[in-house]
Structure 1
Amino acid sequence: MQPRNMSMSGVVDLAAVKAAGEARQKAEEARAQRAASADQGDEAPGGADRLVIDVDEAGFESEILQRSAEVPVVIDFWAEWCEPCKQLGPVLEKLAHEYAGRFVLAKVDVDQNQALFQQFGVQGIPAVFAVIAGQALPLFQGAAPEQQIRQVLDQLVEAARQQFGIEGAPVAPGAEQEAPQAAPEPPADPALAAAHSALDAGDLGGAVQAYKNVLSGDPGNVEARLGLAQAELLGRVQGLDAGQVRTDAADRPDDVAAQLRAADLDLVGGHVEDAFGRLVDTVRRTVGDDREKVRLRLLELFEVIGGEDPRVVAARGALARVLF
């Protein structure tokens, strides 16, 4: 579903939101192309939209790095001759289907992909790693009991959600084995339409409340989350003196409130990388409640631009390096 452009063009420059819409449009076009390829029987090996995929060195960037900006990717390093691998593999595949899209399992045959094996510094197999927002972390090595694996996966999924705002899209049981089909356009939601109307009319307070009403009944509504992030952003920058905000931010680099205001202005002015870089640097310099406040604001700005945008992917990686 495409995001709505923020209105009130007389108040702010909407270049950043336009860029977000273009990025999401490209992502939707890519999904449509994959669906068309699947219908014609020429889907890429491993199934780009499946929960369990076989990955080689050529597909590492698209299947693991890029996808890790949208969903945690668990990598199973294995080999045909490895008996513990044969014990662990089916357990991981079972859990991938059971978790239904909260993570994706990527299987890497180390005999065929020595470069990946060495890149991750794997000491022995089976070895299981995770990639979140482009950042790799080891999970465990050896054929662990299923209950312990569940605990590790639960911690991984929660860390991805809490630290980076990354949540995999739910998949109905068995759906990943079916050829993708174009979904019919859902009926218009009156509550969501009212929220959009308030935003378009410049009633920011009304729009914020309306989007929150939608989310109270449907917490996973992506369009409502985007609309809320846009309305709150516009509300924060309304009436600000841009010159004074930037002077305050330059004079007081450790003032969290000043940096948050400057980042908001950067974003609505189209300076997306500047906004993200400012907040990542502020996270680096802060601790405790201040750090958490800045991290959450950064996740809100990610919502405005869109998770598929390469600038968001890069910023998530930078945030991960600061936090870990």
Structure 2
Amino acid sequence: MSNRDNPYDTGAGEVNITFGGLNAGSDRSAAAGAGASQTAPQGTDVIKDVSTASFAADVIQESRRQPVLVDFWAPWCGPCKQLTPMLEKVVREARGRVKLAKLNIDEHPAIPGQLGIQSIPAVIAFQDGRPVDGFMGAIPESQVREFIGRLTAGDTGRIEEALAAAGQAREAGDSQTAVQIYSAVLEQDPEQVDALAGLADLLFEAGRTDEAKAVLDRVPEAKKGASAVAAVRARMALAEQVAELGDPAELERRLAANPADHQARFDLALIQNARGEREAAADSLLAIVKADRAWKDDAARTKLLELFEAWGMSDPVTLSARRKLSSLLFS
């Protein structure tokens, strides 16, 4: 629906309507920041009946987190009975990218009066605390999908910005903020793979392995092979292996007594990796490849490739170790 056809567009770009003392056109930056640090409980329904009293919280404030459609209806309205079930279906299929608030105009006439609603069904979309678009009448499902698609078209860019912010928070050592951002992203898009992987990784780093596994279980089947997910699973698998390896000091003593003890060097490499000593781990495995490529059916090279996947293909240590490996294999 174009602005020309939109009966709710004022042409001014900013709509100011006061509901229950809350100015919908007020400065949104503080609320947007708060929205990024708070997440609704898992399982919160995306469809809700609202009233005049709850409109500010359920529509105005909630629209600062994701678009909210307000369905103005009445029990006597025949077209409403056609539109509402279809609206609910499409909103549920959007998986949290948009919410639906249903308001009975007979029971709560004040808000539709303020908005100038004179016929129903009428649907108004709110974003960032203000009405931004709308339509009237029982339009076809395809047009409803198109309408919601326009509202959520900017989600990808916002999610990418949020993921970048979460990455910066992690680099700065602020895991709590990163967790909050990942959780906020997942409220908008419960299947966002990078957010699921990032949240699982942080939980794993915090020693909450069972919770990390539960988050990874939420990854859709078609996306389980995503590199970010594979990296977290690889780290978790390595950690499980390391837990069974024993005392690193003993392994070092074995190597000092016998530098050809490849098993001791291999086990030490896994422990070094678990400690975050990536260069040392790579060098240990490269030393085995150099000394005996065929040891245990090329186990050192195979493990090194697993580490590359866990570290990420663009990681500096991965790039350096891959060059050294190529030099050993093809020199």
**Global fold match (TM > 0.5):** no
Q: TM-score, length-normalised on structure 1?
A: 0.40
Q: TM-score, length-normalised on structure 2?
A: 0.39
Rg larger in structure: 2
Greater RCO structure (CA 8 Å; 6+ sep): 1
